[in-house]
Amino acid sequence: MEEALVIGIDVGGQSTKIGVIDIQGNIKAQSVISSLQEDINSYMEDLTKAIKALIAKTGKISQFKGIGIGAPNGNYYKGTIDSAPNLKWAHDPQGNPLEIQLSEMIKDQIGLPTVVTNDANAAAVGEMTYGAAKGMKNFIMITLGTGVGSGIVIDGKVVYGHDGFAGELGHTTIIRDGRQCACGKKGCLETYTSAMGVARTAKEKLNNSSIPSILRDIDIDSISSKDVYDAAKKGDKLAIEIFDYTAKLLGQAFADFVAFSAPEAIVLFGGLARSKEFLEEPILKYMNENLLGIWKNKIQLKFSLLKDSDAAILGAGALAWDL
């Protein structure tokens, strides 16, 4: 019998990764195209070319069950990308956001059933199927990257809600009237606990204190969360304080998320989650301080076991098995 395969696609702000996945979750082949094209036609041309090349390389079209795509603002119900701020080809030449019929276009070009979801949901499915949340039916995946995203799993299923947009936990309010967020609101969790949020905290703490720090040797406007991590590694007190503050807000937020869906675990994912050694202990401490008695010391905190792009490709692909 022919081996069954699916294609998983992770649409990122910089690049789009495409992988061919077998039933065991092995990525049998993959390729990458740029996400930086100006218009949707040239992006689609590159994407379909890359998909066709991968199919030709790994098998016959009849082996492929479908295509799963994880994309910013991907909508599961509509199969669209809806006004994704960081993708130029998702806007008209005047810069107005478009609703891209991604699922339909791919299906037309490749001839395989196609499903779209947002990138955090895809990563959650990846972790549930192959990673840190394997075997769990109730967990919340928080992606700590440039922004803060989330994928919520209840009873073994991703929560999409009434309109397909459920799970925007990065835009819940952690500090009322706090930092300005790109979404237009103020004090969103994302403004404090994304990689950019950590850089903003660093800038604030450097400006508002005189604590000595090796971060003072870096141009203040170019400090990144990676710089803070490197400094913390060297025992820098201020850098460790920055992580502690980040962990405090995450712990407070997680306590409220737990009150919603009573998950078995919170799973952290994305670039900033690699700073586990400076985040794990304080997040647990602050979360437990803020949890109701019934949940104290009972909610696990997990860090992703998969490479970031792998989780998204594997998760998007996993959705395609059901097509």
- The answer to whether the beta carbons of residues 185 and 172 sit under 8 Å apart is no
Q: Which of 7, 71, 76, 82 binds its own copies (CB under 8 A)?
A: 82
Q: Which is nearer to its own copies, 175 or 214 (CB)?
A: 175
φ/ψ of 224, rounded to 5, equals -115, 170
Between 18 and 124, name the residue whose CB sits nearer to its own copies.
Answer: 124
The Cβ-side half-sphere exposure at 70, using a 13 Å CA radius, reads: 30
Residue 258 Cα distances to 30, 252, 281, angstroms? 36, 10, 18
> Site for its own copies (CB under 8 A): how many residues?
42
- Candidate residues 63, 105, 165, 216; the one interacting with its own copies per rule CB under 8 A: 165
Kindly list the strands in the beta sheet with 15-22, ordered across the sheet, starting from the edge strand earlier in the chain.
27-34, 15-22, 5-11, 64-71, 114-118
Backbone angles phi, psi at 217, to 5 degrees: -80, -10
Taking the C-alpha atoms of residue 191 and residue 185, their distance in angstroms, rounded to an integer, is 10
- Tell me if 320 sits within 8 A of 116, measured CB to CB: no
Q: How far is the CB of 177 from its own copies (least distance, A)?
A: 11
> Which of 1, 208, 294, 297 lies at the binding interface for its own copies (CB under 8 A)?
294
84 vs 320, beta carbon nearer its own copies = 84
CB of 259 to its own copies, least distance (A): 4
159 sits near its own copies (criterion: CB under 8 A): yes
Task: Output 17 or 248, the one with its CB closest to its own copies.
Answer: 248
Residue 290 makes contact with its own copies by CB under 8 A: yes
- Taking the alpha carbons of 76, 79, 80, 81 in that order, is the dihedral positive or negative? positive
110 CB contacts (<8 Å, ≥6 apart)?
A: 48, 51, 52, 55, 67
Would you count residue 164 as binding its own copies (CB under 8 A)? yes
- In whole angstroms, give the CA distance from residue 80 to residue 220: 39
Residue 156 binding its own copies, by CB under 8 A = no
- Choices 55-63, 108-116, 229-237, 287-295 (CB under 8 A): range interacting with its own copies: 287-295
Rounded to a whole number of angstroms, the minimum distance from the CB of residue 304 to its own copies is 19
When the beta carbons of 63 and 252 are compared against its own copies, the nearer one is 252
Using the rule CB under 8 A, give the single segment among 110-118, 201-209, 216-224, 255-263 that binds its own copies: 255-263
Distance in Å, CB of 1 to its own copies, minimum: 34
Helix axes 195-208, 237-261, angle to 10 degrees: 130
Please answer whether residues 192 and 148 qualify as being in contact, where contact means their C-beta atoms are separated by less than 8 angstroms. no
Residue 168 near its own copies by CB under 8 A:
yes
Instruction: Indicate the residue among 184 and 235 with the shorter CB distance to its own copies.
Output: 184
Q: Which CB atom, from 160 or from 303, has the smaller least distance to its own copies?
A: 160
When binding is defined by CB under 8 A, the residue of 176, 208, 217, 221 that contacts its own copies is: 176
The first and second tokens of residue 198, run together, are 């950590």
* Rounded Cα–Cα distance for residues 67 and 115 (Å): 6
Binder of its own copies out of 3, 39, 99, 163 (CB under 8 A): 163
- Give residues in contact with its own copies (CB under 8 A): 82, 137-138, 152, 154-155, 157, 159-169, 171-173, 175-176, 183-185, 252, 255-257, 259-264, 290, 292-295, 298
